[in-house]
């Protein structure tokens, strides 16, 4: 009887997962595409700033959203991005709680699943900014990174919290750079659904895009650590600060142009990922 009960329970759990798979897939795929759109626009604005076309500028998500809000139908696009990111957030939370890819409950699996929760929180903030700007309520104020840093520094052990965020960000930056440089990210795609051309687009955009974003995230993590050391929230910088820092290096405009192209390719990679990434329960 115990065996029958266990079998029945497993069957019920599997059935529940099967029941929710279709809407999970639709939300998540839309979410990855929305995330890709965000990075494509940031990269495009950055590259336009380098070549001096159309008022482009180095910016983070908030600055990009404000730029989009000023164009025709920009607010509609922002609402679309926000809704899409909501799908991405839901998928990350499902990955953390239901563990569809069987990451497990060992130390590595727990860290990975906590990372999914952190990603959900970060993109929740980005989605909130998109909505806020879409309704014309976010045209002023400091960056999200500076606001968060100031709030954390005011808490007990605030410097340690900010420093920990910096270390985690750098760790993830190294991971993304490693994924991009080695091409290991291709394991997450449904190769059977992709022809040779689409696989090439995914691999090329992923290699360059993940490597470029890894560099930018590494700089952001460094700024958080510097904030922790100095206890000065103004030392915290987001993507716009990281891109500005790149532009101030020798051959900075060339490097900035490369970073802009890299972020655009990262956006393309996320859009392709939205279409072809594996989302089956139990799939590694």
The three-state DSSP-derived secondary structure of 65-110 is HHHHHCCCCHHHHHHHHHHHHHHHHHHHHHHHHHCCCCCCCCHHHH
Task: Give the pLDDT of residue 205.
Answer: 95
Show pLDDT as tens, one digit a residue, over the chain (284 residues).
444 434 443 444 444 444 456 777 788 888 999 999 989 988 888 888 887 766 566 667 777 888 888 877 778 888 988 888 898 898 888 888 888 777 888 888 888 888 888 888 888 888 888 888 888 744 444 455 556 677 777 777 888 888 888 888 898 899 999 999 999 999 889 888 899 999 999 999 999 999 999 999 899 889 889 888 888 777 777 777 788 888 888 888 888 889 989 999 999 999 999 999 887 654 44
DSSP string computed for 158-216: HHHHHHHHHHHHHHHHHHHHHHHHHTGGGGGB-GGG--HHHHHHHHHHHHHHHHHHHHH
Cβ atoms of 244 and 46 within 8 Å: the answer is no
Q: What integer pLDDT is reported at residue 146 of this predicted model?
A: 54
Yes or no: say if 253 and 50 are a contact pair by the CB < 8 Å rule: yes
């Amino acid at each position: 009887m115990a065996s029958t009960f266990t079998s029945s329970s497993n069957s019920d759990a599997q059935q529940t997962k099967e029941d929710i798979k279709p809407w999970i897939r639709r939300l998540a795929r839309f979410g990855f595409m929305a995330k890709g759109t965000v990075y494509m626009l940031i990269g495009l604005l950055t590259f336009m700033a380098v070549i001096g076309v159309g008022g482009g500028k180095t910016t983070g998500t908030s600055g990009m959203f404000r730029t989009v809000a000023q164009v025709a139908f920009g607010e509609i696009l922002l609402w679309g991005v926000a809704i899409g990111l909501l799908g991405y957030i839901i998928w990350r939370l499902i990955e953390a709680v239901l563990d569809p890819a069987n990451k497990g409950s060992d130390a590595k699996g727990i860290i990975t699943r906590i990372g999914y929760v952190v990603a959900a929180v970060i993109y929740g903030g980005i989605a909130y900014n998109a909505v806020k700007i879409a309704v014309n309520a976010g045209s002023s104020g400091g960056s999200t990174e500076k606001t968060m840093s100031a709030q954390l520094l005011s808490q007990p052990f605030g410097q340690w919290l900010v420093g920990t965020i910096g270390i985690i960000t750098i760790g993830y930056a190294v991971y993304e750079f490693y994924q991009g440089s080695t091409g290991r990210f291709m394991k997450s795609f449904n190769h059977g659904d992709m022809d040779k051309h689409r696989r090439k687009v995914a691999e090329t955009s992923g290699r360059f895009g993940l490597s470029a974003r890894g560099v930018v995230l590494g700089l952001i993590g460094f700024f958080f650590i510097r904030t922790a050391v100095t206890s000065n929230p103004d030392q915290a910088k987001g993507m716009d600060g990281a891109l500005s820092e790149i532009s101030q290096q020798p051959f900075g405009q060339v490097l900035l142009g490369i970073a802009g192209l890299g972020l655009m390719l990262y956006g393309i990679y996320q859009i392709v990922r939205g279409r072809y990434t594996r989302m089956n329960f139990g799939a590694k």
